Amino acid sequence: MKLQDFYAVLLCCFCCISLTAQQKISGTVRAADTQKPIANVDVYDQSSGKLATTNAAGYYEFTTEATQLKLIFFSYEYEVSEKIITITENVTLDVNLKPLGEQLSEVELNVRKTKIFALKRLKDVEETAIYAGKKTEVVLVEQSMANLASNNARQIYSQVVGLNIYQNDDAGLQLNIGGRGLDPNRTANFNTRQNGYDISADVLGYPESYYSPAAEGLQEIQIIRGAASLQYGTQFGGLVNFVMKKPNQAKPFEFITRNTLGSNNLYTNFTSVSGTTGKFSYYSFFNYKKGDGFRPNSEFESKNAYAHVGYQFNERTKLEAEVTYLRYLAKQAGGLTDAMFAENPFQSNRERNWFQIDWLLYNLKFAHKFSEDTNFTFNFFGLNAERNALGFRTNRVNQVDPGSVRDLIKGDFNNFGMEARLLSNYEIFGKKSTFLVGSKFYKADNTSAQGPGSAGSNPNFEFQTADFPNYQNQSAYDYPNLNVAVFGENIFYVNDKLSITPGIRFEHIKTESDGFFKRINTDGAGNVILNETVDNSEVRERSFVLFGLGASYKPTDALEIYGNVSQNYRSVTFTDISIINPAFAISPDIDDEKGMTVDFGVRGNYKNKISYDIGAFGLFYNDRIGFVQRAFSDGSVKSERGNIGDAVMYGIESLIDFNLNEIFLKNEDYSFNYFINVALTDSEYTNSDENGVEGNNVEFVPNVNLKTGLLFGYKNFLSNIQYTYLSQQFTDASNAVESNLSGVIGEIPAYDILDISVSYTYKNFKLEAGINNVLDNAYFTRRATGYPGPGIIPSNNRNFYTTLQVKF
């Protein structure tokens, strides 16, 4: 179906819906003792769920066609307030909240909030962003019962449907999530942001996310699928936005420290301070991690600091500044062949491989409310970072390291950007509409260099060209990339139940590579017979427009029918064209990927007893980049990375969460939930010039992706058990089951994992403990093409952790 045809079908389906009256309810929430406005107060209707959240000025608003509502105003630091209102016209309702008379435990606070809602999704409009008609999922991190100290993605994202997760370290130093056939490696197919600004190495030239925010410092994680390409970038995956915890508005000073001990000598510390004094607010943390790893040669040490300050000039204007710094050094145990994994999945024959990250992020945000209907935000953000990878790499993974020269790859990332957004509510033909327009400027000046590293075993990240002048893998490149984008969306409310949201994005991309690589050949005696420097420069400049359309229909308070279609685009990255890798080659004809994503589903919350989101999707991928086996003129056979062909991924994704306490017990002392998260996905290469590819399955697509879990709590005690199952999946377009010498291709067999966690809170103390991979299954989720491989990267065996939190 063409995109224009899809627009026409949606419009025809909804054009006959009748118009109904709607009324506006608005007001300001203030502290009863100080009369200061309170931000982030959730406003609920007892029957339909969440309706609004107050902004920094304490203001909220929503529209409804109901004639009577029972409103509940909720905030962690204040007493709950309930108001019953009868509606005949627009209503202004101001509310004063009383501070809590005594400090409630974290579990009691969670229970209070859990009683009101079961699953959070983004509203149609949040600050200066539009989410109407899009598939949105919000992870409430503190309520996940996950191993937060280790950033355990399998547990944190347990209720996000269809995610495919690489799990290969026991500290969560990097996040690797994909889904719907997208490679999970370093989350490169999502636009990754922190508090709304980019955090990856280079959004278009190198969108890898080496930095993953500490889960213990997160308030929530927002995930918007493919339709996010119109507001946040062109990526097929959509958006992952890490929302950090906010300053405590009720105290001038709050102190939290969390210490964790775990298997393999794991130790982590997370310490934060927070508070608000007058117009000034702050939140800061330091996170330290150290451990030996679950394999030999995999020890690590990580230091992560974050600071946020805000100044509220008045009820309409606020300025915020943030700085994030991460530095970690990790030894890498290397990859395995299938035979090595079968013999001992936790062995290592690499003792000299190292990886180091230095990541400095900064952001300045200005937010101004021109009126009750018009918001403006401006972000200025940047990154100064360094990535160093050092080790012995060979196409034969089982080859013993001879202790000679090591391969060193250095990357420097220096980029900055600006993004401005204006959102305004207005009326057209007597009906509410919301308009968003934005622009983004992004400039990157990155470099990469590859050459000889030292012959020692320590993490020396300096080139040793003088000692090894004839080292073959030598190159150096500059990547001055430029991206300018303008985007817009508009919500048209046909009536109080139906909204239609068209969108558009204009994108100008200029990616450059300017550098050289060396061709050095030696004879059997080691004498140099060829030594030449090849200049290699390239400029790729393109401009294009992406379109999208979304629709949302809410016939009842417990049901929403939503759908959207959006075009996507992925530009070739500089690792696609310039990194020399012994495990694979790069096609000289590699080009950008194009396609579109379609989502259609139903979701809702039935009387706070059942929360659900059931939908179907299609991802249509043109010129998909992947691997095929190819014979070369020198007689070698390697995997080659290039454009394989056109592909389609489609399936059904469903999440159902049962609030068993509300259904059966109805007892405030208990919390009792059961969820089941299932994605049934299929895929096919529909067109390819490569022999034996057309009709094959697409890589990274398990047909069955299941996560299910049971949460039970009594007063201050909580427990959780989670089961995960993924069926078999391929890693290359040929659908090879058997591996090659490098372990890069071949299937990833089906695997399942069981996790258990518990927590208990007493006054200012909280104790958490858990066992991950309870059944001690030996499995792997990844065949790495480069670092930390190449080859099979095993996943963690059974491991334990215990966390003690102290809060003042």
pLDDT tens string 403-413:
999 999 999 99
pLDDT > 70? residue 114? no
- For residue 87, what are the domain limits? 21-101
pLDDT > 80? residue 484? yes
Q: Give me the number of domains the chain comprises.
A: 3
Question: 114 lies in a domain?
Answer: no
Given 220, 241, 262, which residue is the final one in a domain?
A: 241
What's the pLDDT tens digit per position in 171-201? Answer: 899 999 999 999 999 999 999 999 999 999 9
pLDDT > 80? residue 15? no
pLDDT > 80? residue 577? no
Is residue 319 located within the same domain as residue 198? no
**636 against 416, higher pLDDT:** 416
- The DSSP letter of residue 148 is G
Strands 23-31 and 95-97, by their bridges, are: parallel
Whether residue 659 contacts residue 608, with contact meaning beta carbons closer than 8 Å, is answered with: yes
Is residue 79 located within the same domain as residue 131? no
Task: Please count the other Cβ atoms lying within 10 Å of the Cβ belonging to residue 531.
Answer: 12
Question: 14 lies in a domain?
Answer: no
Is residue 722 located within the same domain as residue 585? yes
Task: Please count the other Cβ atoms lying within 10 Å of the Cβ belonging to residue 460.
Answer: 16
What's the pLDDT tens digit per position in 731-767? Answer: 999 999 988 888 888 999 999 999 999 999 998 999 9
Query: From the centroid of its chain, how far is CA 741?
Result: 33
pLDDT > 90? residue 374? yes
Question: Mean pLDDT across the stretch 297-302?
Answer: 97
Q: How far apart are CA 485 and CA 106, in angstroms?
A: 43
What's the pLDDT tens digit per position in 38-83? Answer: 888 888 876 566 678 888 778 898 888 778 888 888 886 788 888 8
Whether residue 60 contacts residue 75, with contact meaning beta carbons closer than 8 Å, is answered with: no
| DSSP secondary structure letters along 486-510 | EEEEEEEESSSSEEEEEEEEEEEEE
Is residue 491 located within the same domain as residue 385? yes
Is residue 343 located within the same domain as residue 482? yes
Backbone angles phi, psi at 5, to 5 degrees: -65, -40
At a CB cut-off of 8 Å and minimum separation 6, what does 168 contact?
Answer: 176, 780, 781, 782, 788, 793, 794, 795, 796
What's the pLDDT tens digit per position in 427-467? Answer: 998 888 999 999 999 999 999 999 999 999 999 999 999 99
- The DSSP letter of residue 642 is E
Question: 119 lies in a domain?
Answer: no
Is residue 558 located within the same domain as residue 536? yes
What's the pLDDT tens digit per position in 487-533? Answer: 999 999 999 899 999 999 999 999 888 999 888 887 777 788 888 88
With tokens 């019953």, the residue in question is 84
What local confidence, expressed as pLDDT, does residue 634 receive?
Answer: 66
Q: How far apart are CA 439 and CA 420, in angstroms?
A: 5
Is residue 290 located within the same domain as residue 375? yes
What local confidence, expressed as pLDDT, does residue 9 receive?
Answer: 41
Closest CA to 679 of 162, 154, 181: 162
What local confidence, expressed as pLDDT, does residue 204 receive?
Answer: 84
Strands 191-194 and 136-140, by their bridges, are: unpaired
Q: Is 36 helix (H, G, I), strand (E, B) or coil?
A: coil
Q: How far apart are CA 37 and CA 312, in angstroms?
A: 11
pLDDT band at 669 (very low <50, low <70, confident <90, very high): confident
What local confidence, expressed as pLDDT, does residue 662 receive?
Answer: 86
Whether residue 310 contacts residue 283, with contact meaning beta carbons closer than 8 Å, is answered with: no
Strands 584-586 and 637-659, by their bridges, are: parallel
Is residue 262 located within the same domain as residue 235? no
- Percentage of the chain with pLDDT > 70? 93
pLDDT band at 101 (very low <50, low <70, confident <90, very high): low
Rounded to the nearest integer, the mean pLDDT of the chain is 90
Is residue 247 located within the same domain as residue 231? no
pLDDT > 90? residue 87? no
At a CB cut-off of 8 Å and minimum separation 6, what does 387 contact?
Answer: 201, 210, 356, 357, 409, 410, 411, 413
What's the pLDDT tens digit per position in 314-362? Answer: 989 999 999 999 999 999 999 999 999 999 999 999 999 999 999 999 9
At a CB cut-off of 8 Å and minimum separation 6, what does 353 contact?
Answer: 297, 331, 332, 333, 334, 390, 391, 392, 406, 787, 788
Question: 291 lies in a domain?
Answer: yes
Helix (H) or strand (E) holding 83, with range, is: strand 81-86
Given 218, 241, 264, which residue is the final one in a domain?
A: 241
Give the sign of the dihedral formed by CA 131, CA 133, CA 134, CA 135: positive
Is residue 25 located within the same domain as residue 144? no
At a CB cut-off of 8 Å and minimum separation 6, what does 622 contact?
Answer: 593, 594, 595, 646
What local confidence, expressed as pLDDT, does residue 14 receive?
Answer: 38
Is residue 217 located within the same domain as residue 246? no
pLDDT > 70? residue 275? yes
Q: How far apart are CA 127 and CA 231, in angstroms?
A: 13
Strands 354-371 and 670-687, by their bridges, are: unpaired
Whether residue 408 contacts residue 388, with contact meaning beta carbons closer than 8 Å, is answered with: yes
Q: Is 518 left (phi over 0), alpha (psi -120 to 50) or beta?
A: beta
Q: How many residues does the chain have?
A: 808
Torsion of CA 13, 14, 16, 17, to 10 degrees: 140
Given 198, 214, 241, which residue is the final one in a domain?
A: 241
Question: 8 lies in a domain?
Answer: no
Give the sign of the dihedral formed by CA 611, CA 615, CA 620, CA 626: positive
Q: CB-side exposure of 371: number of CA atoms within 13 Å?
A: 5
Question: 11 lies in a domain?
Answer: no
Closest CA to 236 of 189, 173, 302, 289: 189
CATH number of the CATH domain containing 160: 2.170.130.10
CATH number of the CATH domain containing 82: 2.60.40.1120
- The DSSP letter of residue 663 is I
Give the sign of the dihedral formed by CA 29, CA 31, CA 33, CA 36: negative
Question: 667 lies in a domain?
Answer: yes
Question: 647 lies in a domain?
Answer: yes
Give the sign of the dihedral formed by CA 448, CA 451, CA 457, CA 461: negative
Is residue 597 located within the same domain as residue 553? yes
